[in-house]
Structure 1
Amino acid sequence: MGGDRSPEDYFGDDAEGLALYRAVAEAVEANGEAEVKVTKSQIAFRRRKGFAFVWRPAQYVNSDVPVVLSIALPEELRSERFKEVVHPSAKAWMHHLEIREADEIDHEVRTWLATAYREAA
């Protein structure tokens, strides 16, 4: 694990957020090894580059959403599930997905994570 902070440090007493993070981590780990880097603002999953990020929107705005999963992909995907899609650099599209329940990390999300994992190699 990267850095001195752990996912438990990041979420503190937010058991719901930590449980959702763990559901994302399980989906990521199904693809193989990835570095986990915890900062004050997010938890990043990395290979050669970051490909998935878990963060708490309530850190920044008034929000009842426990976590957002941001997935970096080489092209824009269209889905009503995404809260927002942005194009921060020429080779990356960031897809932001609000997660309220662990079962939202379904086959579709796992497919997006698998693509992001491969592209980050």
Structure 2
Amino acid sequence: MTDLAGKYKTYRLISPFKNRIFTSDPANVEYILKTNFENYGKGEYNYYILKDLLGDGIFTVDGDKWREQRKLSSHDFSTRVLRDFSSVVFRKNAAKFANILSEAVKSNKIVDIQVSP
């Protein structure tokens, strides 16, 4: 799929039971997710296969239910909440990294920072 998206910005996969269109073209993505969002719902098929796992949440519903879920979740994705969360995550990971470097210095070891421990 990644190779196809690299070669063709928008393409269609046809199978006996379902046809799907995929796009990685920024103009198409903006059109679908912003400009003409109302015409590109997730549909009943996706709701049916995801409802047991995700319920009537923002990732499964369309229309008025989606708007209600979007309004509720928008508070969780405010700039302040995301900034505060990312600060906590950064501090936690920075502390881990500092400990790894400290241990390496104590034992006189080389640390490859491009490889996850």
For Structure 1 versus Structure 2, the TM-score category normalised by the shorter chain is: under 0.3
Q: TM-score, normalised by structure 1?
A: 0.24
Instruction: Give the TM-score normalised by the residue count of structure 2.
Output: 0.25
**1 or 2 for the larger relative contact order (CA 8 Å, sep ≥6)?**
1
Hey, which of these two has a bigger chunk of strand by percent? 1
